[in-house]
């Protein structure tokens, strides 16, 4: 059982939901990424999702695209990110997932990628442009090691697709809350809660919701049905806005804590 499974089992016992924070690895430097991961761990984040910067993203909106460009200009490479996680493992046991496109993974070598990730303490991977029915090489390599392969569902996914993704996904299922690219949204889709509940009828895997989440009230709303909430663009935007502050790490940590605290407040309210 890897760290992701242990985390969801622990949260289920405590009747809690997971808060998953995304940041692009190498944005403002890998040293900054390391400091933010440790800060997020202190601020109530349950799982870290590290974006692997890529020059031609298909699912990312302008905020995350810009963060990838900043990281690439600094020369951030996939192997550097994996090694950085190894360094973090001396300081934290928080589950860490990589999210990146298939091209860098394929170039790295699928078996070598999985082997190096496991050796350095990466717990799983999300590859948005690799559908589960074309991922046999990755899932076969991962199965031998306990490495989690996390696949995506969307508002248009059929029952058959839900079953396939449930079968192939390890760790959790990533539900994309809307049709479109990443980015904070003022309103969540009306059908989001019902769609998550539909997926959970077909699957016993944890279902985590991402894309468009940016405010504490949205976190609380999603927690009604989902097992986890993923926030990415809003955190990256906060980093971009406050990059020149002397207390940059603390300030971004304060913002993240407002979001993680929404889950705590929601639990306290439900017990009153």
**Which residues carry out catalysis?**
49, 60
Residue 264 token pair:
């705590």
Q: How far is the C-alpha of 109 from the C-alpha of 138, rounded, in Å?
A: 10
C-alpha to C-alpha distances, 193 to 43, 90, 101, 208, nearest whole angstrom: 26, 38, 28, 12
Q: How far is the C-alpha of 139 from the C-alpha of 103, rounded, in Å?
A: 16
3-state helix, strand, coil in the chain (%, to 5): 50, 15, 35
**Residue 14: CB atoms within 10 Å:** 9
Cβ atoms 125, 97 nearer than 8 A: yes
């Amino acid at each position: 059982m890897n760290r992701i499974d242990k985390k969801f089992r622990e949260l289920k016992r405590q009747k809690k939901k997971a808060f998953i924070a995304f940041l692009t690895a190498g944005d403002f430097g890998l040293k900054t990424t390391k400091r933010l991961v440790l800060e997020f761990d202190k601020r109530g984040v349950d799982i870290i999702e590290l974006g692997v910067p890529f020059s031609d993203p298909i699912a990312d909106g302008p905020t995350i695209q810009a963060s990838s460009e900043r990281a690439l200009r600094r020369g951030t490479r996939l192997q550097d990110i994996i090694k950085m996680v190894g360094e973090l493992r001396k300081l934290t046991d928080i589950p860490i997932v990589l999210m990146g496109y298939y091209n860098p993974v394929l170039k790295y070598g699928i078996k070598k990628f999985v082997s190096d990730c496991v050796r350095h303490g990466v717990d799983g991977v999300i590859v948005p442009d690799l559908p589960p029915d074309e991922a046999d090489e990755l899932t076969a390599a991962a199965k031998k090691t306990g490495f989690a392969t996390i696949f995506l569902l969307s508002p248009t996914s059929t029952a058959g697709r839900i079953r396939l993704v449930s079968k192939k996904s390890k760790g959790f299922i990533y539900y994309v809350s809307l049709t479109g690219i990443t980015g904070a949204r003022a309103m969540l889709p009306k059908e989001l809660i019902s769609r998550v509940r539909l997926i959970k009828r077909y699957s016993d895997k944890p279902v985590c919701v991402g894309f468009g989440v940016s405010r504490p009230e949205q976190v609380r709303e999603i927690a009604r049905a989902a097992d986890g909430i993923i926030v990415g663009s809003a955190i990256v935007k906060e980093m971009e806005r406050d990059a020149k502050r002397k207390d940059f790490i603390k300030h971004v940590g304060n913002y993240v804590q407002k979001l993680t605290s929404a889950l705590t407040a929601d639990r306290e309210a439900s017990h009153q």
